[in-house]
Structure 1
Amino acid sequence: MAEEEKQKNYLSPEEIVSFVFGILEEKAWISLGLIKDTDGEFHKSKEDARFLIDLLDKMSEVIDKRLDENEVKEIKNHIANLQLNFVNQFK
Structure 2
Amino acid sequence: MKLEAGSIVRSLAGHDADCLYVVMHAEEKFLWVSDGRLKQAAVPKKKNRKHVEPAGRDEELARKFAEGRTVRDEEIKRALKLWKAYHA
Q: Is the pair's TM-score, using the shorter chain for normalization, greater than 0.5?
A: no
Higher strand content, 1 or 2: 2
Max radius of gyration: which structure?
1
Higher helix content, 1 or 2: 1
**TM-score for both structures, normalised by structure 1:** 0.29
Higher relative contact order (CA 8 A, sep 6+): 2
**TM-score for both structures, normalised by structure 2:** 0.30
